[in-house]
Amino acid sequence: MHIHILGICGTFMGGLAVLAQQAGHKVTGCDANVYPPMSTQLRAQGIELIEGYDPEQCNLEPDLYVIGNVVSRGNPLMEAILNRGLPYCSGPAWMGEHILRSKWVLAVAGTHGKTTTSAMLAWILQEAGYEPGFLIGGVPLNFGISARLGGTPDTGTSSFFVIEADEYDSAFFDKRSKFVHYHAKTLVLNNLEYDHADIFPDLAAIETQFHHVVRTVPGIGRIVVNGQEAALQRVMARGCWSEQELFGVAGGWCFSGDDIQFHGKTAGRLSWQLQGEHNRQNALAAIAAAHHVGILPAQSLSALASFENVKRRMEVRGVVNGITVYDDFAHHPTAIATTIAGLRSKVGVARILAVLEPRSNTMKLGSMKAALPGSLSAADLVFAYGAHQGRDALGWSLPESLAPLGEQARSFDDLAALKNAILAEARIGDHILIMSNGGFGGIHQALVDALGDSAVSVSDS
């Protein structure tokens, strides 16, 4: 089958393209912004990329157009597809039908921790010899890639597939969450908070989508649920037709110190590189999900001891003149708070300089602005950047939102001024934590380079 993917450079659609290519399909695609690293990865797979959405791409005559949720009505290529009556479907629908249909799918859903938990779960299965396929919204450092079909030349394609199960909508013509297409046999519900204010009016609307995915799990399947989450309790109370297992609470999978307990019995001790209570909870979810396919807790704990996390999850970008610069994907207030707390548990009383770009759709709409001061309060200094123009422009006042933090926080609308302010404050022993779900103008490397410049004066007071 020849598929042509609209919006191919997105994380999900790019991963789908790689999987389709590995499965033997001919893959081409287009996007408005064809640039590295995704463009480089795709071209390395032999996938032809086209810049823009010119209707002449219909002349490629693919068997099917696969539409990313970045595409909307008015897109010239999409309009041509509709006008000519050409076959099309959403990315999640194609994924569910052509890649996942015959698999034991382990899907990880939740507002936070999907990428990390999926990466943990895939690594546990890998270390247990399952050679799983996976599609993850980040790059697990243990694998170095975000998607693969799985299996080996000797054994053939793996029967197991781990997927990060997003609640965002599937396409402009299919407003169901992506995860309803995945046919999960093992479903992890990590947590649930309000997010994606651009498509969901309130938390109740998201809970309805989570109830829909619960309805798709077969009776022989298992749903692994965070027992601490009231929103997930409401979801499960609406109906469950599968086995249910809790984590994070006594009687289910939980911690007693560093020991993991299951039904009140010690299953083993977690010893690994990661910090933070949120990662401990992610580990419980991954261990519980792996247990469903027959992997003993001791095997999972052994695998997690060598788990290297995911790129852009507290990733150290450089240590220069005694100052450590981190890159993290946190962009929701809860994720921001837990990320800072995790770093604080590691560095103790050392100063944390939190650098934030609130650029997610939810943040740009201002739905979470009132929660920002509280989420950042554990940092010693806060540097926030908000553009006033362009597609990432904020629709609200960043200085007004951060005013409760007083002199602890400063706001900027110029990246150069932001960088210079951070450099002026940085001291030996500081930890600069940069948080954004975008590229943040390359400030990570700019800071590392500037800190290493002999012309930069770094205070040690």
pLDDT tens per residue across span 230-257 = 999 999 999 999 999 999 999 899 999 8
124 domain residue, yes or no: yes
One domain for residues 158 and 236? yes
One domain for residues 186 and 250? yes
One domain for residues 86 and 128? no
One domain for residues 285 and 383? no
pLDDT at 410 over 80: yes
Tell me how many degrees the CA angle 70-72-73 measures, rounded to the nearest 5: 170
In angstroms, the CA 268 to CA 266 distance is 6
CATH number of domain containing 174 = 3.40.1190.10
Residue 269 lies in domain: 100-304
- Provide mean pLDDT across the span 133-160: 89
In angstroms, the CA 241 to CA 249 distance is 22
Number of H helices, E strands in the chain: 15, 23
Among 159-173, 283-297, 365-379, which stretch is predicted with the lowest mean pLDDT? 365-379
One domain for residues 140 and 272? yes
In angstroms, the CA 265 to CA 272 distance is 21
* Residue 202: count of CB within 10 angstroms of its CB: 9
Sequence-separated (6 or more) residues with CB below 8 Å from residue 442 = none
Q: What tokens appear for 22 in the block? A: 């590995």
Contact 352, 335 (CB under 8 A): no
309 domain residue, yes or no: no
Q: Say what the pLDDT of residue 456 is.
A: 43
One domain for residues 174 and 267? yes
One domain for residues 358 and 410? yes
Q: Is 335 or 172 the better-scoring residue by pLDDT?
A: 172
310 domain residue, yes or no: no
Q: Say what the pLDDT of residue 400 is.
A: 86
456 domain residue, yes or no: no
Q: Say what the pLDDT of residue 461 is.
A: 42
One domain for residues 212 and 121? yes
Domain stops at, among 37, 56, 91: 91
One domain for residues 212 and 142? yes
457 domain residue, yes or no: no
Domain stops at, among 91, 112, 146: 91
In angstroms, the CA 185 to CA 105 distance is 5
Is the pTM higher than 0.75? The answer reads yes
Contact 162, 310 (CB under 8 A): no
In angstroms, the CA 162 to CA 304 distance is 16
Give the containing element (helix H, strand E) for 245: strand 243-247
One domain for residues 17 and 118? no
One domain for residues 264 and 364? no
Count of domains in the chain? 3
Sequence-separated (6 or more) residues with CB below 8 Å from residue 282 = 113, 116, 117, 120, 190
Domain stops at, among 30, 65, 91: 91
Q: Say what the pLDDT of residue 342 is.
A: 84
Give the containing element (helix H, strand E) for 432: strand 431-435
